[in-house]
Structure 1
C-alpha cells in the first residue's frame, strides 16, 4: 500500500522556538510534537478551509498524530494553554514510496537497551509494486515467483500484496536503496530491531496487536493458501497493519533463544516475527518467534522497514526524555 510522500513547512511554536515539530507521515497525516509541560487536551486545526476534517487519531504525552489534512491548505494547531504550532502548509508530491507510522518511546522501564527511542515504521509490509521498483532501479535480482494455488505472476499481477521469497540480504539491499532514494544518510532506512518490532506489535499491551481476544478471520490473515492484500484487516493502535499474520517479517537481529533485547547472538539465523497466512492462530501470539537463515527466502516471509525520526527534529529528543524520565 504505497502512498504519495508528503512535506510540511512550519515556523514552529510561537514564542517557543526549537521545542516543537510537525512531521509528515503519509499523504494526509502529520506527527505533531509540542513543548514538554504544555498541554493538548484540545488540539485543533485553525485557519484553513480544510480544517473540518482534521482530527487527532492518536495522542500521547507531548505528541499527536493528526489525519485529514488536504494538499494546498494552510493549518495551524492550537493547544489548550495557548501555544500555536504553525502555520503549516501541507502539500504532496507524486513519488510513491512508503506510508510511515509513528511508534512512540516505551513507558518508563519497558524499553530494551538500544531500542527505546521513538521511530517510524512502515504502516504495511513492503509490497510487490515497491520491491519490483527497487529491483528495476537498483539492478537487484527479482525474487523467485511463489507457487500459490490459482495465482499466476504474483509479483506483477498482485502489486499491493506483500513481496515474499525475499532473503534477509535482499531486504537489507532494499533498505539501502530506499535510504538513497529518499535522500537520507546511509543506514537511515533499515529493518526494525526485534525489540522495536515487538514494541510496535504490543501497542495494545495484549497477546495480539488488537488485545487479548483470540484471532478470527476479521482480525488477521492466517490458515489460508496465500497472502492477502496489505492493509486488509484492522490496524493496530499505532496505525500499523498486518503485524499478526499475512507474512512473517524479517528483523535485523541475529536469533538468540532468549527474549528480544536488540543484542547480537550467534550469527546463524535472523529473527522473523508475526506469523503468516499459512500458520494456525497460535503462531500469531506476540511471543511467537521464528528464525531463518539470512540467505533463504520463503513464500511465508516478507518484511517492513523502519527509520529514526529525522536528525534535528525537535520532538525526537523531547519525546524520549518525556517518556522515559531521563
Structure 2
C-alpha cells in the first residue's frame, strides 16, 4: 500500500476505507485532515471551502454540518444533489468524509442543546444515506452544545460498522465537551472510553490536541495516544476549539506537540473564518509535520494525476 504522502487523486479513487487506513499508517504521522462547513457561503465566491482547504495542503476533507437528506455544498452547483459528494471529490482530488453526531437523548436540560435535523444525527438511516452518497469515511463526534456523549459514540460506532460494512473507515471521539458537563478537560475521554471505541469498531480515535482543552498537556495527550495504539487503532489529534483561527505560532506549537504525542494524523477545524480554518494555518500545520517538500507537492498536485 502506498503511503498517503505519495498518493494522488487517482490513487484515492481506488481506495476503500481500510486501504486508506493503511496508507495513513504508512505515512508515519504526516497526514492532515481539514474540516470545512459546506452549509455556509464559502470564504471566497467561485470556489468551495473544501477546494481552498485542499489547495492549502489538506490530504483529507471532512464535511461538517452536512445534512445527508438534503445534500448540498455552498459554491458547488450540481443537477442532482445525490452527486454532490462525487463532484466534490473530483474537484478536490481528495477523500471526503462526513461528521455525524451521536446525540444522547437521555440527557437532562435538553433545551440547552442545539436541536439537530435527522440528516446530521448518527442513525441507521443516516449511515445508509452517507454510504449511498459516496463518502470515503465518517467521523462520529459532537459540535458544541449538541449533547454528544462517549456512551452514544460507542453505540454509534457499532451501528455504523453494521450498516456501512467492514471497508468503511470510522473515526470517533471527542475534541471538546459538546456541552456535556461530565465530559470536559482531562475527563473528556478516559482509557475505558478509548477501549470501548476500538472494540465497537472504530479505526481512528479522535482526541484533543495538546493545548486545545484545559488540562490536555503534551503528557496527557501522549498517554491517550499510547492507549489507542496499544489497542490497535490509529490516533488523530483534533484542533476544534476555534484555535484554527489563532496566530501561526500557536498553530505551529499545537502541530509540533501533536506529533510529539505520537498522533498518526491531525485534524484542523472549521472555525478560523466561517466554515474553514485560516488557510495559511492549514499550510503552516502541514509544514510543521512534514516540511515544505510534501506540503508543496500536495498543494500543487493536479486532480488529473
Q: TM class, shorter-chain normalised?
A: under 0.3
Query: Which has the larger strand fraction?
Result: 1
Query: Which has the larger helix fraction?
Result: 2
Specify the structure having the higher radius of gyration (Cα).
Answer: 1
TM-score by length of structure 2 reads 0.27
Q: Which has the higher contact order (CA 8 A, sep 6+)?
A: 2
TM-score by length of structure 1 reads 0.26
